[in-house]
Amino acid sequence: MVAFLSRRKLMAWGMALAACAPVAHAQAPALDAPLSLVVGYAPGGSTDRIARLIAERLTPKLGVAVTVENRPGEGGRLAAKEVKRAPAGQNVLMLGNPAVMVVAPLVFKDAGYDPDKDFVPVSQVSSYDFALAVGNKLQLDRAMFLVGRLWAHPEEAVFGVPATGSLPHFFGLMVGDALSVQPQIKGYGGSAPLSADLIGGSLPIAIDTLDSVYAQHVAGKIRILAVSGKKRASFAPGIPTFREAGMKIDADGWNTFFAPSSMAPAKVQLLANAIHDVMKDPGLQKAADALYITPVVSTAAETAQMLKAYRQQWEPVVRRSGFQP
C-alpha cells in the first residue's frame, strides 16, 4: 500500500512539474508553400482591396507568404479558367463574385468552367449593396417621389448601369418588376462614365454598386435614394433601404473565396477556418468599412448555403432577361 501511494505521489509531482515547464511555441507552418489569392480584376477595385486586407492578416496566421495576384480579363472569367486548372498540390484560391460564378455560366454558351464541378466554396468575405441614384437635375430626395414620377411618365424609366450584363443591369430589372414599370437599360463602359453622365445631367437615373457612387453622393454631386441591402450600410447610415422606402425588394452582391476542386478537402477546410478567423478581426472590419466594404464572417457551410439561396433569387431574373453577351 505504501509503495502504491508513493508511485501515485510521484506521478502527481511529475504532472505538476510538466505543467510548470516552459512550452515551445514554435509551430510548423500550416501550409508547405506560399498561398496565392487570385483576383480577376485590375488592382484598386473593391474585390482587390478586400483581398489585400485579408492577405496581410493571413500571412502570420498560416505561417507562409500570402500574395494577391491580379489576373484581369474576360470580366473575371480568365482568372476562373486559370484557377480551375491548378494542380492538386498548388496553394491557390480565387476571390470570385456573382458576375463570374452565377451570371457568366448562364449567359455564355461555354464560360470555360463549371462553378459546381470545378470549384469548392471556401468562405464569403464581403457583401455589397446596389444603389439607386439620381442626378441633381431631378431635384428628388426620396425614392417614392421618383416612383411617382415614373408611374406618371413611364418613358422616363431609363436606368444607366456600368455595363450590360452586369449585376446592376439585372438588379435594374428587379427594380422595374417591383415598380411595375418596364425600364430601358442603358449600359456604359464602367462606373466612371456612368457617374459622369449622371453628374452632368444627361442621365437622370443610375443603378450601380453603392461603393462606386457613394463618394459622389457625399460630395453632393448626385443623390442616392435607396440601397438594396436588408439593412442600411454601416458606412452610409443615412441612406434608407428599398424596403424602408416602400419597395419590397432587397438584393446584394458578394466576394467569396473558391478553391479549385483538385484541392484536398483537408486543405480547403484549413483555409476556410483561417479566413473565418481573420474576418473576425476588428482591425480588418474597421479598415474594410473605411473602404466602403461590408465585411462578412462566414463558415464554409454557411457560404455554400448562401450561394444556393443566391442562385435561386438571381437565376430566374437573368434567364428572363434573355441577355446575350
In the predicted model, residues of the chain with pLDDT beneath 70 are 1-30
For residue 207, give the nearest of 169, 237, 249, 256 by alpha carbon.
169
The predicted model scores a pTM of 0.85
The strand pair at 92-96 and 119-128 is best described as unpaired
User: Is there a contact between 195 and 172 (Cβ–Cβ < 8 Å)?
Assistant: no
Pick the CATH number of 130-227 from 3.40.190.10, 3.40.50.1100, 3.40.140.10, 1.10.1040.10: 3.40.190.10
| Residue 222 · residue 195 · CB < 8 Å | yes
Q: Where in the chain is the domain with CATH 3.40.190.150?
A: 35-127+252-321
**Segments of the chain assigned to CATH 3.40.190.10:** 130-227
**Can you tell me the distance from the alpha carbon of 208 to that of 104, in angstroms, rounded to the nearest whole number?**
18
At 226, which helix (H) or strand (E)?
strand 222-227
What integer pLDDT is reported at residue 78 of this predicted model?
A: 96
pLDDT attached to residue 27: 40
Strands 92-96 and 35-39 come out as parallel
pLDDT value of residue 250: 92
Neighbours of 202 (CB within 10 A): 11
**pLDDT at residue number 254:** 97
* Tens digit of each residue's pLDDT (9 = 90 or more) over 203-238: 999 999 999 999 999 999 999 999 999 999 999 999
CATH number of 35-127+252-321: 3.40.190.150
What's the grid cell of residue 117? Answer: 464541378
Pairing of the two strands 66-70 and 205-209: unpaired
What is the Cα–Cα distance from 284 to 301, expressed in whole angstroms? 22
CA atoms of 83 and 35, how far apart (whole Å): 13
pLDDT tens per residue, range 87-127: 988 999 999 999 999 999 999 999 999 999 999 999 999 99
CA dihedral 123, 251, 229, 116 (to 10 degrees): 0
Beta-strand pair 35-39/66-70: parallel
